[in-house]
Amino acid sequence: MEKLEQRARGGDEVLPAPSAPDSSAVALRDVRKVYGRRAAAVTALDGVTLDIDRGTFVAVMGPSGSGKSTLLQCAAGLDRPSAGEVFLDGVDLRRLSENELTMLRRERIGFVFQSFNLVPALSAELNVALPLRLAGRRPRRREVRDVLAAVGLAGRGRHRPAELSGGQQQRVAIARALVTRPAVLFADEPTGALDTRTGRDVLTLLRELVDVDGQTIVMVTHDPVAASYADRVAFLVDGRAAGELLDPDPATVAARLAGLEPDRHEADRHEPDGHEPVGLEPGGEKLR
Ligand code: ADP
Protein backbone atom coordinates (compact mmCIF):
# COMPACT_ATOMS: atom_id res chain seq x y z
CA MET A 1 0.00 0.00 0.00
CA GLU A 2 2.87 2.40 0.73
CA LYS A 3 4.07 1.70 -2.78
CA LEU A 4 0.64 2.45 -4.10
CA GLU A 5 0.58 5.74 -2.21
CA GLN A 6 4.03 6.69 -3.48
CA ARG A 7 3.11 5.85 -7.02
CA ALA A 8 -0.13 7.75 -6.70
CA ARG A 9 1.72 10.82 -5.44
CA GLY A 10 4.41 10.72 -8.08
CA GLY A 11 2.53 9.17 -10.96
CA ASP A 12 -0.74 9.53 -12.71
CA GLU A 13 -2.34 6.23 -13.68
CA VAL A 14 -2.62 4.61 -10.22
CA LEU A 15 -5.55 5.42 -7.95
CA PRO A 16 -4.53 6.71 -4.52
CA ALA A 17 -4.79 4.25 -1.66
CA PRO A 18 -8.07 4.74 0.23
CA SER A 19 -7.70 6.95 3.25
CA ALA A 20 -9.91 8.50 5.86
CA PRO A 21 -10.94 12.13 5.58
CA ASP A 22 -9.42 14.20 8.38
CA SER A 23 -12.83 15.03 9.82
CA SER A 24 -13.68 11.36 10.41
CA ALA A 25 -13.46 9.87 13.87
CA VAL A 26 -14.28 6.51 12.30
CA ALA A 27 -14.12 5.52 8.64
CA LEU A 28 -15.01 2.12 7.22
CA ARG A 29 -14.01 1.33 3.66
CA ASP A 30 -15.71 -1.63 1.97
CA VAL A 31 -15.57 -3.66 5.17
CA ARG A 32 -16.43 -7.33 4.95
CA LYS A 33 -16.66 -9.79 7.81
CA VAL A 34 -17.22 -13.48 7.27
CA TYR A 35 -17.59 -15.81 10.24
CA GLY A 36 -16.86 -19.52 9.82
CA ARG A 37 -15.70 -21.31 6.68
CA ARG A 38 -17.06 -23.00 3.61
CA ALA A 39 -20.62 -24.29 4.08
CA ALA A 40 -20.78 -22.76 7.57
CA ALA A 41 -19.62 -19.31 6.41
CA VAL A 42 -21.84 -16.39 7.42
CA THR A 43 -21.29 -13.00 5.81
CA ALA A 44 -22.04 -10.57 8.63
CA LEU A 45 -20.76 -7.47 6.79
CA ASP A 46 -20.82 -7.37 3.02
CA GLY A 47 -18.89 -4.28 1.93
CA VAL A 48 -19.83 -1.46 4.29
CA THR A 49 -18.45 2.05 3.74
CA LEU A 50 -19.27 4.60 6.43
CA ASP A 51 -17.79 7.88 7.70
CA ILE A 52 -18.49 9.20 11.15
CA ASP A 53 -17.52 12.83 11.67
CA ARG A 54 -15.84 13.94 14.86
CA GLY A 55 -18.18 15.36 17.46
CA THR A 56 -21.28 13.68 16.05
CA PHE A 57 -23.71 11.13 17.47
CA VAL A 58 -24.56 8.33 15.02
CA ALA A 59 -27.07 5.54 15.60
CA VAL A 60 -26.74 2.24 13.73
CA MET A 61 -30.01 0.40 13.14
CA GLY A 62 -31.28 -2.55 11.17
CA PRO A 63 -33.14 -5.82 11.55
CA SER A 64 -31.78 -8.47 13.89
CA GLY A 65 -28.81 -10.20 12.27
CA SER A 66 -28.13 -7.31 9.87
CA GLY A 67 -24.56 -6.90 11.18
CA LYS A 68 -24.90 -4.00 13.63
CA SER A 69 -22.88 -5.56 16.45
CA THR A 70 -20.28 -6.85 14.01
CA LEU A 71 -19.92 -3.35 12.58
CA LEU A 72 -19.40 -1.95 16.07
CA GLN A 73 -16.84 -4.64 16.93
CA CYS A 74 -14.87 -4.03 13.72
CA ALA A 75 -15.07 -0.23 14.04
CA ALA A 76 -13.86 -0.42 17.65
CA GLY A 77 -10.95 -2.74 16.88
CA LEU A 78 -12.48 -5.54 18.98
CA ASP A 79 -12.57 -7.73 15.89
CA ARG A 80 -10.68 -7.61 12.61
CA PRO A 81 -12.59 -7.42 9.32
CA SER A 82 -12.06 -10.20 6.75
CA ALA A 83 -11.46 -7.46 4.15
CA GLY A 84 -11.64 -3.70 3.84
CA GLU A 85 -10.26 -0.95 5.99
CA VAL A 86 -11.10 0.68 9.29
CA PHE A 87 -9.62 4.02 10.31
CA LEU A 88 -10.05 5.15 13.88
CA ASP A 89 -9.08 8.72 14.66
CA GLY A 90 -7.03 8.60 11.45
CA VAL A 91 -5.23 5.36 12.35
CA ASP A 92 -5.42 2.48 9.86
CA LEU A 93 -6.23 -0.46 12.15
CA ARG A 94 -4.82 -2.99 9.66
CA ARG A 95 -1.35 -1.62 10.31
CA LEU A 96 -1.47 -2.26 14.04
CA SER A 97 -0.05 -5.34 15.72
CA GLU A 98 -2.24 -7.11 18.29
CA ASN A 99 -0.44 -5.24 21.08
CA GLU A 100 -0.87 -1.90 19.39
CA LEU A 101 -4.54 -2.65 18.80
CA THR A 102 -4.96 -3.50 22.48
CA MET A 103 -3.32 -0.19 23.46
CA LEU A 104 -5.53 1.71 21.04
CA ARG A 105 -8.65 0.02 22.44
CA ARG A 106 -7.62 0.91 25.97
CA GLU A 107 -6.73 4.50 25.32
CA ARG A 108 -8.67 5.74 22.31
CA ILE A 109 -11.95 3.83 22.57
CA GLY A 110 -14.72 3.67 25.13
CA PHE A 111 -17.28 0.87 25.04
CA VAL A 112 -20.64 0.73 26.78
CA PHE A 113 -22.74 -2.43 26.79
CA GLN A 114 -26.39 -3.16 27.43
CA SER A 115 -25.50 -5.13 30.56
CA PHE A 116 -23.19 -2.47 32.14
CA ASN A 117 -20.38 -5.05 32.73
CA LEU A 118 -19.21 -3.44 35.97
CA VAL A 119 -17.03 -5.36 38.43
CA PRO A 120 -19.45 -6.12 41.30
CA ALA A 121 -16.83 -6.19 44.07
CA LEU A 122 -15.44 -2.75 43.21
CA SER A 123 -16.86 0.65 44.11
CA ALA A 124 -18.01 3.00 41.34
CA GLU A 125 -14.72 4.94 41.72
CA LEU A 126 -12.59 1.82 41.37
CA ASN A 127 -14.64 0.63 38.38
CA VAL A 128 -14.07 3.98 36.69
CA ALA A 129 -10.35 3.93 37.54
CA LEU A 130 -9.90 0.46 36.03
CA PRO A 131 -9.13 1.51 32.42
CA LEU A 132 -6.46 3.92 33.68
CA ARG A 133 -4.85 1.15 35.73
CA LEU A 134 -4.97 -1.17 32.73
CA ALA A 135 -3.23 1.54 30.72
CA GLY A 136 -0.48 1.52 33.35
CA ARG A 137 -1.43 4.84 34.90
CA ARG A 138 -2.00 5.64 38.53
CA PRO A 139 -5.43 7.22 38.54
CA ARG A 140 -5.82 10.46 40.47
CA ARG A 141 -8.89 10.47 42.68
CA ARG A 142 -9.75 13.92 41.32
CA GLU A 143 -10.01 12.82 37.70
CA VAL A 144 -12.16 9.83 38.64
CA ARG A 145 -14.46 12.04 40.73
CA ASP A 146 -14.68 14.60 37.95
CA VAL A 147 -15.82 12.07 35.39
CA LEU A 148 -18.36 10.60 37.86
CA ALA A 149 -19.65 14.13 38.49
CA ALA A 150 -19.91 14.69 34.73
CA VAL A 151 -22.33 11.76 34.44
CA GLY A 152 -24.39 13.02 37.40
CA LEU A 153 -22.96 10.69 40.05
CA ALA A 154 -21.09 13.09 42.31
CA GLY A 155 -21.08 11.60 45.80
CA ARG A 156 -21.82 8.04 44.65
CA GLY A 157 -18.24 6.98 44.07
CA ARG A 158 -18.01 4.74 47.13
CA HIS A 159 -21.10 2.72 46.22
CA ARG A 160 -20.80 -0.72 44.71
CA PRO A 161 -22.85 -1.55 41.60
CA ALA A 162 -25.44 -3.52 43.62
CA GLU A 163 -26.09 -0.39 45.68
CA LEU A 164 -26.93 1.63 42.58
CA SER A 165 -30.00 1.65 40.30
CA GLY A 166 -29.75 0.34 36.74
CA GLY A 167 -29.56 3.87 35.37
CA GLN A 168 -26.82 4.79 37.83
CA GLN A 169 -24.88 1.63 36.96
CA GLN A 170 -25.02 2.55 33.29
CA ARG A 171 -23.76 6.04 34.19
CA VAL A 172 -20.82 4.43 35.99
CA ALA A 173 -20.17 2.35 32.87
CA ILE A 174 -20.28 5.53 30.76
CA ALA A 175 -17.90 7.28 33.17
CA ARG A 176 -15.57 4.28 32.94
CA ALA A 177 -15.72 4.46 29.13
CA LEU A 178 -14.95 8.20 29.18
CA VAL A 179 -12.14 8.31 31.74
CA THR A 180 -9.41 7.79 29.15
CA ARG A 181 -10.92 10.60 27.02
CA PRO A 182 -11.53 8.28 24.07
CA ALA A 183 -11.76 9.50 20.49
CA VAL A 184 -14.97 7.49 20.10
CA LEU A 185 -17.52 6.14 22.54
CA PHE A 186 -19.20 3.00 21.17
CA ALA A 187 -22.46 1.91 22.76
CA ASP A 188 -24.24 -1.37 22.03
CA GLU A 189 -27.90 -1.06 23.08
CA PRO A 190 -26.97 1.14 26.07
CA THR A 191 -30.61 1.57 27.12
CA GLY A 192 -31.72 -2.00 26.36
CA ALA A 193 -31.77 -3.05 30.02
CA LEU A 194 -33.29 0.16 31.38
CA ASP A 195 -36.88 1.25 31.86
CA THR A 196 -38.11 3.91 29.44
CA ARG A 197 -37.58 6.92 31.67
CA THR A 198 -34.14 5.91 32.91
CA GLY A 199 -33.19 5.08 29.34
CA ARG A 200 -34.18 8.59 28.24
CA ASP A 201 -32.02 10.10 31.01
CA VAL A 202 -29.03 8.09 29.79
CA LEU A 203 -29.69 9.19 26.20
CA THR A 204 -29.90 12.82 27.33
CA LEU A 205 -26.51 12.35 28.98
CA LEU A 206 -25.05 10.91 25.77
CA ARG A 207 -26.49 13.83 23.78
CA GLU A 208 -24.92 16.32 26.23
CA LEU A 209 -21.54 14.62 25.92
CA VAL A 210 -21.68 15.31 22.18
CA ASP A 211 -23.08 18.86 22.43
CA VAL A 212 -21.00 20.06 25.35
CA ASP A 213 -17.75 18.09 25.12
CA GLY A 214 -17.67 17.32 21.40
CA GLN A 215 -17.56 13.57 22.11
CA THR A 216 -18.07 11.26 19.12
CA ILE A 217 -20.62 8.53 19.82
CA VAL A 218 -21.64 5.50 17.77
CA MET A 219 -24.63 3.64 19.18
CA VAL A 220 -26.38 0.47 18.07
CA THR A 221 -30.04 0.45 19.00
CA HIS A 222 -33.37 -1.17 18.13
CA ASP A 223 -35.28 1.74 19.58
CA PRO A 224 -36.44 4.55 17.24
CA VAL A 225 -36.79 6.91 20.19
CA ALA A 226 -33.19 6.21 21.27
CA ALA A 227 -32.05 6.73 17.67
CA SER A 228 -33.82 10.11 17.58
CA TYR A 229 -31.23 11.44 20.07
CA ALA A 230 -28.55 10.96 17.40
CA ASP A 231 -27.60 13.39 14.65
CA ARG A 232 -27.83 10.67 12.08
CA VAL A 233 -29.08 7.10 11.72
CA ALA A 234 -27.22 4.67 9.46
CA PHE A 235 -29.28 1.63 8.46
CA LEU A 236 -27.96 -1.84 7.73
CA VAL A 237 -29.67 -4.74 5.96
CA ASP A 238 -27.99 -8.09 5.37
CA GLY A 239 -24.59 -6.64 6.18
CA ARG A 240 -24.92 -3.77 3.72
CA ALA A 241 -25.49 -0.05 4.18
CA ALA A 242 -29.16 0.70 3.52
CA GLY A 243 -29.39 4.47 3.60
CA GLU A 244 -29.47 6.96 6.42
CA LEU A 245 -31.57 9.65 8.06
CA LEU A 246 -30.35 13.05 9.23
CA ASP A 247 -31.92 14.75 12.26
CA PRO A 248 -34.07 11.68 12.85
CA ASP A 249 -37.42 11.72 14.60
CA PRO A 250 -38.89 8.55 16.14
CA ALA A 251 -41.81 8.17 13.71
CA THR A 252 -39.63 8.48 10.61
CA VAL A 253 -37.06 6.07 12.03
CA ALA A 254 -39.75 3.53 12.97
CA ALA A 255 -41.31 3.75 9.49
CA ARG A 256 -37.95 3.32 7.77
CA LEU A 257 -37.05 0.39 10.02
CA ALA A 258 -40.39 -1.32 9.41
CA GLY A 259 -39.73 -1.07 5.68
CA LEU A 260 -36.38 -2.81 6.13
CA GLU A 261 -37.65 -5.74 8.20
CA PRO A 262 -37.27 -8.82 5.98
CA ASP A 263 -38.93 -11.06 8.55
CA ARG A 264 -42.01 -8.99 9.02
CA HIS A 265 -44.30 -11.33 7.12
CA GLU A 266 -42.63 -14.39 8.56
CA ALA A 267 -42.90 -12.92 12.06
CA ASP A 268 -46.57 -12.17 11.44
CA ARG A 269 -47.08 -15.83 10.54
CA HIS A 270 -45.55 -16.78 13.89
CA GLU A 271 -47.65 -14.20 15.73
CA PRO A 272 -51.25 -15.04 14.80
CA ASP A 273 -52.53 -12.86 17.63
CA GLY A 274 -51.26 -9.80 15.79
CA HIS A 275 -48.34 -8.81 18.07
CA GLU A 276 -45.75 -6.60 16.44
CA PRO A 277 -42.62 -8.57 15.62
CA VAL A 278 -39.95 -8.08 18.25
CA GLY A 279 -37.55 -5.30 17.32
CA LEU A 280 -40.08 -3.05 15.60
CA GLU A 281 -41.38 -1.51 18.76
CA PRO A 282 -39.45 1.14 20.62
CA GLY A 283 -37.83 -0.74 23.48
CA GLY A 284 -38.81 -4.05 21.89
CA GLU A 285 -35.32 -5.36 22.56
CA LYS A 286 -36.26 -5.71 26.21
CA LEU A 287 -38.56 -8.60 25.33
CA ARG A 288 -37.02 -12.00 25.76
P1 ADP B 1 -27.05 -7.69 14.68
O2 ADP B 1 -26.20 -7.02 15.72
O3 ADP B 1 -27.57 -6.75 13.64
O4 ADP B 1 -28.16 -8.53 15.27
P5 ADP B 1 -24.75 -9.38 14.27
O6 ADP B 1 -23.63 -8.48 13.88
O7 ADP B 1 -24.79 -9.85 15.68
O8 ADP B 1 -26.13 -8.70 13.85
O9 ADP B 1 -24.73 -10.67 13.33
C10 ADP B 1 -24.70 -10.60 11.91
C11 ADP B 1 -24.67 -12.03 11.37
O12 ADP B 1 -23.43 -12.64 11.73
C13 ADP B 1 -25.76 -12.92 11.94
O14 ADP B 1 -26.16 -13.80 10.93
C15 ADP B 1 -25.07 -13.66 13.06
O16 ADP B 1 -25.66 -14.90 13.27
C17 ADP B 1 -23.66 -13.80 12.51
N18 ADP B 1 -22.64 -13.81 13.58
C19 ADP B 1 -22.37 -12.82 14.47
N20 ADP B 1 -21.36 -13.15 15.28
C21 ADP B 1 -20.97 -14.41 14.91
C22 ADP B 1 -19.95 -15.30 15.36
N23 ADP B 1 -19.12 -14.98 16.37
N24 ADP B 1 -19.86 -16.50 14.73
C25 ADP B 1 -20.67 -16.82 13.71
N26 ADP B 1 -21.63 -16.02 13.23
C27 ADP B 1 -21.79 -14.82 13.82
- Ligand 1, atom 11, lies closest to the CA of 44
Fold of 54-76+94-286: Rossmann fold (3.40.50)
pTM: 0.84
CB atoms within 10 A of CB 270: 9
- 179-210 burial, b at 16+ Cβ within 10 Å, e below that, comes to bbebbbbbbbbbbbbbeeebbbebbebbbebb
CA 73 / ligand 1 centre spacing (Å) = 11
Whether 66 lines ligand 1, by a CB cut-off of 6 Å, is: yes
Domain boundaries, the chain: 54-76+94-286
User: What digits encode the pLDDT tens for the residues 189-242?
Assistant: 999 999 999 999 999 999 999 999 999 999 999 999 999 999 999 999 999 999
Structural contact between residues 57 and 32, judged by C-beta atoms closer than 8 angstroms: no
d(CA 26, CA 218): 9
In tens digits, the chain (288 residues) has pLDDT values of: 444 344 334 444 555 555 666 779 999 999 999 999 988 999 999 999 999 999 999 999 999 999 999 999 999 999 999 999 999 999 999 999 999 999 999 889 999 999 999 999 999 999 999 999 988 888 899 999 999 999 999 999 999 999 999 999 999 999 999 999 999 999 999 999 999 999 999 999 999 999 999 999 999 999 999 999 999 999 999 999 999 999 999 999 999 999 998 655 554 544 444 344 333 334 333 333
Whether 282 lines ligand 1, by a CB cut-off of 6 Å, is: no
- List beta partners, residue 48: 31
